[in-house]
Amino acid sequence: MLPIIRKTADAVQELPALLDFSAQALREWFQQRGKPAMRARQVRRWVLEAGAESFEQMTDLPRSLRRDLAAALVPLGTRIERHLQAADRTHKLLLKLRDNRLIECVLIQEDNRRSACISTQVGCGMGCVFCASGLGGVERNLAGGEILEQLVRLRNLCPDLQRLTHIVVMGMGEPLANLDALLEALEVATAADGLGIGARHITISTVGLPAKMRRLADLGKQYHLAVSLHAPNDELRSQIVPTNPQNGLASILEAADYFFEQTGRQVTYEYVLLGGINDLAGHARELALLLRGRHAHVNVIPFNEVEGLPHRRPTPEALAAFQAALRQQGISVKVRKRKGSEIDAACGQLRRQVLGQ
């Protein structure tokens, strides 16, 4: 049974949401209505820093202004459709967007780390064969405000409204296919008067879109890049990642090298281990050869079962042997721990369940 602790089925709001506006656009919005522009900063602080979810809570605003604002805007434009909490304090939110579409985001808490895992698209167009998010294709890109709002909603779940310490852009969607909106959201996430999260603590995970990886490298930001490799050669990768034939491992690795040269930040390679498919010791050796000489770190992710998909988890022996073979070749490797498994924390799974797909 899923431990459902809250479900709100409020009518989805038609009014524009505060975070749909940039700081500048919100200042103009106030000015156009004959109100001081500084109100924009005040209202944004309530939502971004103080966790307000209604204008009523913004007690230093005149009552009449609070009423006017409530008639014209909503502080948050998403609705919590489901809220699940696992025993390990992992929270998962299924958020309903203004057009009734659903997205997922997850809060993972470990010691003093509070990591948000966020989505960038409704669904995903990449179609990786083992992934729940891609099963129904991509419906649309999220707006910057919708990406930011996931962070605000997850931060609002943190005890004492403590700051999120990390962001992983590993929810639904391909982040680099919606890079502009993502960057917009991350600007606010990293701003001192935004969510105050260090850029070095933000990981963007991509299926490997070389042109976009290069663009990200050229921004001069300290974001961390993770590349979903999943196979050590093009033949196998093309069977697992349908976009592979267009790009190919060589050009993805070149773009990753470029990212390292430009930013000085080591690239992480993600490798979902699918039992009997890409988990042989030979695959590990081939992967080590591919990455040798690169400033690379490998994150091995044992497959999380997805209902309706035929893949299975690697055996513990295969997992251990895979890891050992990489280590033996001098490759830095870590196995991703499983968090929140009883609430289907792996991306895309809860949404599919609710949509009945």
* Residues of the shown chain interacting with ligand SAH in the complex, contacts defined by CB under 6 A: 126, 128, 130-131, 170, 174, 205-207, 228, 270, 272, 301, 303-304, 306, 346-347
Q: How far is the CB of 160 from ligand SAH (least distance, A)?
A: 29
Q: CB nearer to ligand SAH: give 165 or 228.
A: 228
**Residue pointed to by tokens 């939110």:** 93
- Three-class secondary structure assignment of 165-185: CEEEECCCCCHHHHHHHHHHH
Q: Which SS3 state, helix, strand or coil, does residue 268 take?
A: strand
Q: How far is the CB of 16 from ligand SAH (least distance, A)?
A: 29
Strand spans (E) along the chain? 4-6, 79-85, 91-96, 102-110, 113-117, 121-123, 138-141, 166-169, 202-206, 224-228, 267-273, 296-302, 332-335
Q: Rank residues 33 and 338 by Cβ distance to ligand SAH and give the closer one.
A: 338
Catalytic annotation, pick one of 104, 146, 149, 174: 104
Q: At 189, give phi and psi (nearest 5°).
A: -60, -35
The least distance separating ligand SAH from the CB of residue 313, rounded to whole angstroms, comes to 9
**Least distance from ligand SAH to the Cβ atom of residue 205, Å:** 4
Based on the residue annotation, tell me whether 174 is a catalytic residue of this protein: no
Coil/strand/helix, residue 188: helix
- Shortest distance, CB of residue 174 to ligand SAH, whole angstroms? 4
Alpha carbon distance 302, 312 (integer Å): 9
- Cα–Cα dist 86/297, whole Å: 29
Tokens of 171: 């929810």
Cβ 270 to ligand SAH shortest distance, Å: 4
Q: Which is nearer to ligand SAH, 21 or 130 (CB)?
A: 130
Give me the catalytic one of 105, 124, 131, 347.
347
HSE-up of 341 (CA within 13 Å, CB side)?
Answer: 8
Annotation marks residue 347 as catalytic: yes
* Nearer of residues 272 and 284 to ligand SAH, judged by Cβ: 272
How many Cβ atoms from other residues are within 10 Å of residue 220's Cβ? Answer: 7
Nearer to ligand SAH, 28 or 307 (CB): 307
- Closest CB to ligand SAH among residues 150, 205: 205
Locate 213 and state its tokens: 């990886």
Residues with a catalytic annotation lie at: 104, 347
